[in-house]
């Protein structure tokens, strides 16, 4: 028998972990009709939690704090959570998270994480092949924002190879082009790369949210005429608000004619490539230079789980190879830290790998196809209603609609829609967001939870209709 003093952890620590695992199982076993937003039904968490870090606490106190945290946390696993571009619970992803924490490895060297390295390499190979890169490579990053930054850094390195050592001093001004409905991370990347946010040119979109390619061509010509150097175009595959897919083939043609880096932000919509039925939305992606893909969104893997994929397999190593790393890297070709902006990096790949092993290609395809079917069902509910009005066509999994009661003027609909949404969220049972499309405020319903069914959407629309009627009564009483 192993002596207790030889244990990796003291027995009381192991017992406490087992106890907390029971608490977590109870949390996972909650009923489907539990509150999505429990903090709205209770006092402010600040009033009952000691947040200070001065004094030590025993196990009972820590368990109480864990209970308080779980009791106030937004339940993003609920089918009634429609608020963000992610939702649901992944069993394999959860297990991957536990394994990553228990082993506490880092992805910089093969020596440190041998199996995790092989897992990540296999995933990158799989995903680059799906995009259409014959000999590409990639790395896991901390999210879609970071993926877009890395892509833009690679593009800057290609246009100004000396910038890595010498910087941008005395060089002509670089400028990049993205749609006006692209993610704000591009603007931040302009600052982070040192070219300035004013050099991120927002190209106008058509009425349904797609980048206007005629406007793109004109913006490029105007930039050149002004003495600037265009170097990058970012298309969006699934915009944050509307879920629109930019015209990839047309944008690619413009990029090729102007020798520009062509990046696709597939953070939201990249997973559509797993569906034969809907992958045409990304036709032409194989011609891009880089591709961002968040598996923690449409693939249902826990946050964070994002890759940046490159058509040229050597790009990442070229932009990340710097001096003074010999203490860490000893010549092993499979040291993935050589391809990453980060040094220490979590083994996020294991949760995606386990999930993909469990579902297989066909499992993901069926689930994504069903999400598209559910989005169309939600759209049909809106179109058949006298109270709701679609603001933009449903191209993927975003259903954008406004509440338009006949008792109010058109100028009042936006404010009314936001008020109804806020009141619905305050009740705690359903959580959905709102967004602005032009000067119109609308409900942005996101269909992404693998456990979502039609009856959940029926409940959602019944709930929002009921709250709309209550809000109207309050306005006229």
Q: DSSP for 53-94, please give it.
A: -SS---HHHHHHHHHHHHHHS--TTSTTEESSS-----HHHH
Would the CA dihedral through 186, 191, 192, 193 be positive or negative?
positive
| Residue 5 confidence (pLDDT) above 80 | no
pLDDT digits (tens, 9 = 90+) for 91-138: 999 999 999 999 999 999 999 999 999 999 999 999 999 999 999 999
- Per-chain mean pLDDT for the chain: 95
CATH topology for 360-476 is 3.90.1150
| Residue 181 confidence (pLDDT) above 90 | yes
What single string gives the DSSP state of each residue in 242-268? T--B--HHHHHHHHHHHT-EEEEEETT
Q: Given pLDDT bands bounded at 50, 70 and 90, which one contains residue 34?
A: confident
- What mean pLDDT comes out for the span 275-291? 98
Q: How crowded is residue 191: how many other Cβ atoms within 10 Å of its Cβ?
A: 13
**pLDDT > 70: what percent of the chain?**
97
Domain ranges of the chain: 7-75, 106-346, 360-476
Q: Given pLDDT bands bounded at 50, 70 and 90, which one contains residue 206?
A: very high
* CATH architecture for the domain at 106-346: 3-Layer(aba) Sandwich (3.40)
- Identify the pLDDT of residue 49: 87
* Alpha-carbon distances of 259 from 159, 232, 255, 256, 282, rounded to whole Å: 9, 9, 6, 5, 21
- Identify the pLDDT of residue 33: 76
pLDDT digits (tens, 9 = 90+) for 296-355: 999 999 999 999 999 999 999 999 999 999 999 999 999 999 999 999 999 999 999 999
The SS3 assignment for 354 reads helix
pLDDT digits (tens, 9 = 90+) for 401-441: 999 999 999 999 999 999 999 999 999 999 999 999 999 99
pLDDT digits (tens, 9 = 90+) for 145-175: 999 999 999 999 999 999 999 998 887 899 9
Question: Which strand ranges, in their side-by-side order, compose the sheet holding 81-82?
Answer: 81-82, 431-437, 440-446, 398-403, 388-390
- Identify the pLDDT of residue 3: 54
- What mean pLDDT comes out for the span 280-289? 98
CA atoms of 309 and 289, how far apart (whole Å) = 8
- Identify the pLDDT of residue 30: 83
| Residue 358 confidence (pLDDT) above 70 | yes
| Residue 41 confidence (pLDDT) above 70 | no
Would the CA dihedral through 184, 189, 195, 196 be positive or negative?
positive
- What mean pLDDT comes out for the span 289-298? 98
| Residue 236 confidence (pLDDT) above 90 | yes
Q: Do domains 106-346 and 360-476 have the same CATH topology?
A: no
Composition of the chain by helix, strand, coil, percent to 5: 45, 15, 40
- Identify the pLDDT of residue 1: 44
| Residue 259 confidence (pLDDT) above 90 | yes
Q: Given pLDDT bands bounded at 50, 70 and 90, which one contains residue 213?
A: very high
| Residue 42 confidence (pLDDT) above 90 | no
> Which pair of tokens denotes residue 19?
């106890």
């Amino acid at each position: 028998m192993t002596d207790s003093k030889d244990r990796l952890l003291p027995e009381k620590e192991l017992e406490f972990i087992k106890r907390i695992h029971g608490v977590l199982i109870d949390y996972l076993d909650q009923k489907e009709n539990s509150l999505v937003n429990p903090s709205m039904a209770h006092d402010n968490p600040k009033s009952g939690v000691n947040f200070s870090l001065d004094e030590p606490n025993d196990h009972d106190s820590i368990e109480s704090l864990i209970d308080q945290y779980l009791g106030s946390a937004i339940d993003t696993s609920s089918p009634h959570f429609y608020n963000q571009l992610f939702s649901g619970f992944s069993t394999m992803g959860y297990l991957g998270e536990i394994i990553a924490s228990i082993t506490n490895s880092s992805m910089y060297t093969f020596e440190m994480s041998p199996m995790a390295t092989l897992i990540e390499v296999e995933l990158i190979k799989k995903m680059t092949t799906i995009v259409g890169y014959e000999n590409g490579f990639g790395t896991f990053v901390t999210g879609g924002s970071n993926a877009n930054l890395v892509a833009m850094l690679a593009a800057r390195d290609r246009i100004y190879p000396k910038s890595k050592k010498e910087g941008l001093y005395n060089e002509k001004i670089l400028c990049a082009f993205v749609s006006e409905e692209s993610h704000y991370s591009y603007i931040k990347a302009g600052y982070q790369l040192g070219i300035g946010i004013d050099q991120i040119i927002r190209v106008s979109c058509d009425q349904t949210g797609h980048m206007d390619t005629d406007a793109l061509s004109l913006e490029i010509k105007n930039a050149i005429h002004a003495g600037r150097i265009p170097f990058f175009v970012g298309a969006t595959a699934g915009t944050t608000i509307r879920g629109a897919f930019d015209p990839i083939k047309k944008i690619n043609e413009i990029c090729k004619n102007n020798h520009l880096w062509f990046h696709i932000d597939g953070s939201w919509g990249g997973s559509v490539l797993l569906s034969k039925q809907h992958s045409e939305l990304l036709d032409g992606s194989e011609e891009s230079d880089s591709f961002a893909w968040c598996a923690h969104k449409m693939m249902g893997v826990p946050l964070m789980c994002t890759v940046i994929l490159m058509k040229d397999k050597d790009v990442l190593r070229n932009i990340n190879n710097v001096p003074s790393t010999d203490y860490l890297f000893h010549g092993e070709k499979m040291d993935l830290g050589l391809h990453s902006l980060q040094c220490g990096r979590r083994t996020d790949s294991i949760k995606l790998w386990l999930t993909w092993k469990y579902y297989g290609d066909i499992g993901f395809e069926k689930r994504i196809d069903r999400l598209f079917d559910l989005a169309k069902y939600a759209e049909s509910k809106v179109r058949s209603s006298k109270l709701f009005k679609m603001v933009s066509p449903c191209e993927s999994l975003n259903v954008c609609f406004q509440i338009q009661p006949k008792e109010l003027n058109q100028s009042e609909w936006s404010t009314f829609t936001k008020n109804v949404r806020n009141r619905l969220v305050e009740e705690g049972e359903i959580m959905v967001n709102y967004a602005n499309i032009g000067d119109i405020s609308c409900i942005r319903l996101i269909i992404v939870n693998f456990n979502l069914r039609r009856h959940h959407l029926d409940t959602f629309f019944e709930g929002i209709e009921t709250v709309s009627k209550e809000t109207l009564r309050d306005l006229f009483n």
